Amino acid sequence: MSEETDQPLPESPIEAARKVAEWMPRTLRIAHRTFISHGQFTAANALLLEVQEVEDARSFIRQHDFREVIHGYSHDSMCMAVVGLCSLLAKSDSRRSAGQGVVSLQEIYHRLKFPDEAEAFVDLWEEKQDPAFCAAFGGSRADAYAWINAFLAAWRKLDWNPGGSISRLQHLRHHGIAHLLEKPMAKSVTAEELRNLMESLGQMTEPLGRLNLDGGEWASMEISSDAHRRSLRYWRRAIPAEFLKAPE
């Protein structure tokens, strides 16, 4: 079930379109960094499975030091991924709906879902396009509408039900990471659920990347995979070979 609200917007369609154009680069930058954090988290977890037990006491102490560092790296990367995701999925706040510094996919969604606002944004997007580039690589008004619809469809697939993965992700952020609330943490998300949410994020940010008027950051699940591979290469070079299991 997707979270919907049909409250009227506090601005005209062209003003809403300009806000979307302003927010999109910052939103994609946050998403880009969130994908990197997720890839670093999964790499650290994979590496912990590669560290083998040792019997020598001195080697055990050294290995324990490496494990401690990797655990810290895994935890901190997970926290950054969770905080980034929660920020990107943040609920709209009517008290801030004038858009003062608000950056979230939900703020973009609640503007592009209206036909007039979507059309105004496509007009802005079309003005920025290089005809020669579009002729060579594609990029028509029809494409722009298709990318908007892909983003809207991906957003509407999100599970906002109480007890769903987003609810538990937010609980983890508030109770387990930021400690904004005094109650102890009672629920969380699994690594698989976090990955599924990251994949949902990619389904939203990939079409937005094609609509980004600044042509800046690209945000997709491939960034997480790349960060995973690069982190593993770094750690495998840093950790003594005798501490790692032989490749199967």
What is the rounded average pLDDT of the residues 38-64? 77
| Residue, of 26 and 3, whose pLDDT is higher | 26
Residue 3 within a domain: no
Look at the block and give the residue holding tokens 């609810």.
167
Residue 115 within a domain: yes
Which residues are 51's β-sheet partners? Answer: 244
Residue 51's SS3 state is: strand
In tens, the pLDDT along 146-170 reads 999 999 999 999 988 888 888 888 8
| Residue 135 pLDDT > 90 | no
Residue 12 within a domain: no
**Mean residue pLDDT across the chain:** 83
pLDDT at 2: 46
Number of folded domains in the chain? Answer: 1
Residue 16 within a domain: no
- 220: domain range? 21-243
Note whether 183 and 189 are within 8 A (CB): no
Residue 8 within a domain: no
pLDDT at 222: 94
pLDDT at 187: 67
Residue 15 within a domain: no
In tens, the pLDDT along 71-128 reads 899 999 999 999 999 999 986 554 444 445 567 999 999 999 999 999 999 999 988 8
Residue 5's SS3 state is: coil
Residue 233 within a domain: yes
Residue 42 within a domain: yes
Residue 244's SS3 state is: strand
Look at the block and give the residue holding tokens 């629920």.
187
In DSSP notation, 23-49 reads HHHHHHHHHHHHHHHHHHHHHHHHHHH
